[in-house]
Amino acid sequence: MKKNILTGFSRLTKIQKLDLIAAQLPDPEVATDTMRSFWHPHAGTQRLFDEFSENTITNYFFPYGIAPNVLINGKMYMVPMVIEESSVIAAAANSAKFWAEKGGFHSEVVSFIKNGQVHFTWDGPFEVLTAEFATLERRLRKRTATITANMEQRGGGVLGMELIDMSHKLPNYYQLSVKFDTRDSMGANFINSCLEEYAAGLREYAENMPGLAPWKLDVIMSILSNYTPECLVKVWVESDISSFSSIDPSISAEDFVRKFEMAVNIAKVDVNRAVTHNKGIFNGIDAVALATGNDFRAIEASGHAWAAREGKYQGLTDISLENNRFNYSLTLPLSIGTVGGLTSLHPMARLSLDLLKDPSAKELMQIAAVIGLANNFSALKSLTTRGIQLGHMKMHLLNILNVYSATDYEKALAVEHFKHHKVSHKAVDDFLTSLRNQ
């Protein structure tokens, strides 16, 4: 087996790597051309992308689009979205316009604390360890003074720390749990750097503190948590129920909101629906995260775990229909940054933040969550009225036509034809076949 293992791949130049990969492909020359065609034309810009990650040979493109008319707390935004799935941007834009005409979205940052832990084992009594915690905390904070200085200047830093007894869950297991304010950065590197210092300090403390000598402290790991239940944003829309009177010709305002409410409640009681309900929310949130250089895996992990915080996985939105008012909200944890990471390095992330008028992290939390709610509202509106396939397949029509290599002329005729017919792969195939046989 060992003889098939490739050694030294990471040390090859980019061109050598690309050539080696092309040689694995059916037509190496075509593959080389394809991969090179995705390079950025400016060598300096391309080098940035090469250096974001490792073993890079080219770029992967996502469409970059705009949802206009996103009115949040009275301020109008053009929101950049990066997503490969058809109809997500159209849905966000439709929803944004619908709500802009009704006063827009409302939002607030509920809390703004990140956290991380030093996980360790300790085979002595907990009380002995905690007896002089004030001394320990002072020493630990001193160790990270140079790391935290900049963050403190920006108004953030370490908010507090505590020792947590977890030994009822696993034998001898304890945590040093630390809370942070990382201001406009997502803060992963800052938090991890602090925690690794704390781990070293904790080890030293256990070794040198008189009275602790008989027992052993072993650090298992030190790492931020991507679970941020204290970094919450809430966004909502509200209007009179009567304002839905012309939402769809088939349904009255009252029937619409009752059906909508039922759809929201179904996502509370059925996990099959809850997952898809929330997936649609993250379609919007991730599209904003991607466009602004943020880490969508962290956002997804935190949001979905939070959806399960009450012991079963549930939809993230809440509805109230009291006093003839429709009030629909989304609350979720959202750790997102507007400085650090790729936010200033990726030219299009930088442009996205410029387009949003250089928002703070708190402002971007609200914008991203609003797009999540906008997408969810559009999805539920379609699902509870005419279904999603009609609109979705119309949006997807051009992709299907591209699969069949339709010409511009054929596309124009097809778009006209399918204004009045149901789109499916088979229907498009039949349409083109009949057209081509004419």
Which residues are part of the catalytic machinery? 85, 279, 295, 392
- Per-position b or e across 24-46, b if 16+ CB within 10 A of its CB: eeeeeeebbeebeeebeeeeeeb
Choice between 304 and 417, CB closer to a copy of itself: 304
Least distance between a copy of itself and beta carbon 100 (Å): 5
Q: Which of 263, 330, 371, 373 binds a copy of itself (CB under 8 A)?
A: 263
Query: Of the two residues 71 and 365, which places its CB atom closer to a copy of itself in the complex?
Result: 71
Contact pattern for a copy of itself over residues 2 through 31, marking x by CB under 8 A? x-xxx--xx------x---x--xxx----x
Q: Which stretch binds a copy of itself (CB under 8 A): 134-142, 225-233, 324-332, 359-367?
A: 225-233
User: Taking the complex as a whole, how short is the minimal distance between the CB of residue 282 and a copy of itself, in angstroms?
Assistant: 5
Q: Does 218 bind a copy of itself (CB under 8 A)?
A: yes
Interaction with a copy of itself in 400-429: which residues (CB under 8 A)? 402-403, 424-426
Site for a copy of itself in 228-247 (CB under 8 A): none
Q: Which amino acid is at 361?
A: A
CA distance 75 to 325: 23
CB nearer a copy of itself, residue 121 or residue 130: 121
What residue type is 76 in one-letter code?
M
Beta strand spans in 166-311 (E) = 173-181, 217-225, 232-240
By beta-carbon proximity to a copy of itself, the closer residue of 128 and 275 is 275
In degrees to the nearest 10, what's the CA dihedral of 300, 340, 365, 270? Answer: 0
Quick one: which of 275, 321, 413, 435 contacts a copy of itself (CB under 8 A)? 275
Using the CB atoms, write b or e for 242-269: b if 16+ within 10 Å: ebbeebeeebebeebbebbbebbeebbe
**CB–CB of 229/306 below 8 Å?**
yes
Task: Establish if 71 lies at the interface with a copy of itself (CB under 8 A).
Answer: yes
Please report whether residue 109 would count as binding a copy of itself according to CB under 8 A: no
Among 246, 250, 272, 434, binds a copy of itself (CB under 8 A): 272
CA angle 379, 384, 390 (to 5 degrees): 65
Q: How far apart are the first and last CA of the chain?
A: 58
φ and ψ at residue 424, rounded to 5 degrees: -150, 165
> Using CB under 8 A, which residues numbered 313 to 332 contact a copy of itself?
313
Number of residues that bind a copy of itself (CB under 8 A): 150
The binding track of 31-70 with respect to a copy of itself, each residue x by CB under 8 A or -, is x--xx-xx-xxx--x--xxxxxxxxxxxxxxxxxxxxxx-
Which of 107, 115, 182, 378 forms a contact with a copy of itself (CB under 8 A)?
115
Q: Which of 331, 218, 319, 314 is nearest to 269 (CA)?
A: 314
Instruction: Name which of 147 and 241 has its Cβ closer to a copy of itself.
Output: 147
Name 114's Cβ contacts closer than 8 Å, sequence gap at least 6.
Answer: 179, 180, 181, 182, 187, 191, 224, 225, 228, 230, 231, 335
Q: Which of residues 335-374 bind a copy of itself (CB under 8 A)?
A: 342, 344-348, 351, 354-355
Beta bridge partner(s), residue 219: 120
Give CA torsion, residues 367, 368, 372, 378, to 10 deg. 50
Q: Minimal distance in Å, beta carbon 204 to a copy of itself?
A: 15
CB of 174 to a copy of itself, least distance (A): 11
Q: Which structure tokens are listed for 174?
A: 């304890």
**In this complex, which beta carbon is closest to a copy of itself, that of residue 213 or of residue 390?**
390
Looking at residues 142 to 161 of the shown chain, list those that interact with a copy of itself (rule: CB under 8 A).
Answer: 146-147, 150
Residue number, 294 or 366, with CB nearest to a copy of itself? 294
Cross-strand partners of 181: 157
